[in-house]
Amino acid sequence: MDSSTSSLSQLSPTITLNQPPTSPSPKSDVEEQGAQDSSIPAISSKQAFPETDLSKGIIGWEGQHDPENPQNFPESKKWVLLLLISAFTFISPLASSMFSPAITYMAADLGEQNETILSFTISVYLLGYAFGPCFLAPLSEIYGRRIVFSCANWFFVLWQIGCAMAQNIETEIICRFFAGIGGAGCITLGAGVIADLFPVAQRGKATTIWGMGPLLGPVAGPIAGGFIGQGAGWRWAFWVLLIAGGVVAAGIEVLNRETCAPVLIKWKTVRLRRELGRGELRSAYETEEGSVSVGGALREGLKRPALLFVKSPIVFLLATYMSLVYGLLYLFFTTISSVFSTQYGFSGGISGLAFLGLGFGFVTGLILIGITNDRMLMRATARNNGVFEPEMRLPLMIIFASILPISFFWYGWTAEKHVHWIVPIIGMYPFGLSMIGVYLPIQTYVIDCYPRYAASANASLTATRSLLGALLPLAGPKMFESLGLGWGNSLLGFLALVFVPIPIVFTRYGKVIREKWPVHLD
């Protein structure tokens, strides 16, 4: 086996169905799928399954059907593993906004009147999302998804105690920040788990399931938090998160398994070195020079998210666009409760129900993308003579990006003019629908472009969008105070319109950009 295939540095994102066979061995599950449906891309068996060659001192998989390879796990096991990470991916974003409707109760209890500080108390959680992925993603590519995911989950759970028991606003902000770092684990590692387990033709569906948490969690949070804050006190929002997070984290400890192929082969190599007494054995995922030191591997891993953001125009522009959309979402979160309590006289509990407009939009978008994403990919691949390209994920994104700005004009002016409360709630629906249509195709597209380093690529997206999501809402109170709800939201709508050409550019010229500016991470 040559080193180019054994290292599996980074699979080519443009895959041809008509590749000549590279091995007489039986077809893998991935290749059999491609044979059954010519529109599903197949990949080289040597790239997907580097095999053991003891004569050359290389340790890989024991054939194309090796049951230890995550790509060959039974379908039921794959979906269970995805559901485990998706379950915590619901709990973690729930924490980002759950006590938003109860912020007034906390302000009265802790004696805080500064609106900017109160908004920051909500959004500082996202600063944890911005910093956490920068080291959680590369650590998972070095030490494995399971251990990093587990540590992040329990870190999140423990900081809920500090949030619930805080006696001043400074302590609350610090605890929220560290809880966000732990909560970033599931958001960051999901992309890597999807790339580990699923072939290209199933990633759209898998990303849709995993993507439910980051989008539905922040909407369900205020609905539950409003009633909890009103009925039991704002501190109970964090006790509920502690209980729910602890139960889910404990279940994950029992059921979760490692999925990162290079880590699994590294473990196998260490075991065989000991059993066979052959210290020269090396993993098929390493270069011929052998494994670098732990410190060197960690340094290289920590640089990957930053390198992808700086050197890849794809990651940079899509991260910028996603950051804008995410920031706009959290501007909604920090203003909806106050708008419906002051403009329409909603109580703390009932004001949380105003988020249902966004929630129904999210659900509709998830259904649409879940049904169409992989199907459109397979049809586009078939029309392209069996050649798959990641840009085939993006055409629908153009439509959703064009719909997204509608909500700001609709919601802003109807709330400004005190139109019946149901009208601004319905006005949030297009934003929820469109955000899914933008968010999920970008996530899947980046996974397809960088399958080996999907976690690091996703970390670049998560860090940048979380940073803007944390900071942009701080400008909300002053902006709406100066411009009013109508013109304040209109300004956001015009800003969203400016970014509509981005998905058009990537749909038409993404391949050219990707090939002209490749990023080498090994």
Determine the 3-state secondary structure of 258 from DSSP. coil
What distance in Å separates the CA atoms of residue 10 and residue 5, rounded to the nearest whole number?
10
Question: Are 260 and 141 contacting, i.e. CB atoms less than 8 angstroms apart?
Answer: yes
Structure confidence at residue 174 (pLDDT): 92
- The domain made up of 70-258+300-516 is a member of CATH 1.20.1250.20: yes
What distance in Å separates the CA atoms of residue 434 and residue 329, rounded to the nearest whole number?
11
What distance in Å separates the CA atoms of residue 198 and residue 202, rounded to the nearest whole number?
6
- Given pLDDT bands bounded at 50, 70 and 90, which one contains residue 157? very high
Q: Dihedral sign, CA of 19, 20, 23, 25?
A: positive
What distance in Å separates the CA atoms of residue 439 and residue 254, rounded to the nearest whole number?
31
Q: Which of 125, 84, 85 minimizes the C-alpha distance to 103?
A: 125
Structure confidence at residue 288 (pLDDT): 42
Give the DSSP H/E element, type plus range, for residue 21. none
Task: Evaluate if residue 436 carries a pLDDT over 80.
Answer: yes
Instruction: Report residue 98 as tokens.
Output: 């759950």
Task: Evaluate if residue 144 carries a pLDDT over 70.
Answer: yes
Structure confidence at residue 160 (pLDDT): 93
Q: How many CB atoms lie within 10 A of CB 509?
A: 12
What distance in Å separates the CA atoms of residue 182 and residue 189, rounded to the nearest whole number?
12
User: For the chain, which residues make up each domain, given as ranges?
Assistant: 70-258+300-516
**Phi, then psi, of 53 in degrees rounded to 5:** -140, 90
Neighbouring residues of 10: CB distance < 8 A, sequence distance ≥ 6? 450, 451, 452, 453, 520, 521, 522
Q: What is the pLDDT of residues 482-497, one digit of tens each?
A: 888 888 889 888 988 8
Q: What is the mean pLDDT of residues 160-180?
A: 91
For residue 239, what are the CA distances in angstroms to 159, 243, 306? 11, 6, 35
Q: What is the pLDDT of residues 78-92, one digit of tens each?
A: 998 888 888 888 888
Is the pTM here over 0.75, yes or no?
Answer: no
Higher pLDDT, residue 456 or 144: 144
Highest averaged pLDDT of the listed ranges 102-111, 377-386, 419-428: 419-428
Mean pLDDT of the chain, nearest integer: 78
CA 27 to chain CA centroid, nearest Å: 32
Q: What is the pLDDT of residues 58-109, one digit of tens each?
A: 888 887 888 888 888 898 889 988 888 888 888 888 888 787 777 778 888 8
Strand partners, 53: 58
Percentage of the chain with pLDDT > 70? 86
Q: What is the pLDDT of residues 186-229, one digit of tens each?
A: 888 887 888 888 887 787 788 778 877 777 777 777 777 777 77
Q: What is the mean pLDDT of residues 236-259?
A: 89
For residue 466, what are the CA distances in angstroms to 134, 181, 184, 470, 515? 12, 11, 10, 6, 28
- Residue 294 is which amino acid? V
Question: Are 418 and 343 contacting, i.e. CB atoms less than 8 angstroms apart?
Answer: yes
Structure confidence at residue 118 (pLDDT): 81
Higher pLDDT, residue 387 or 80: 80
Percentage of the chain with pLDDT > 90? 9
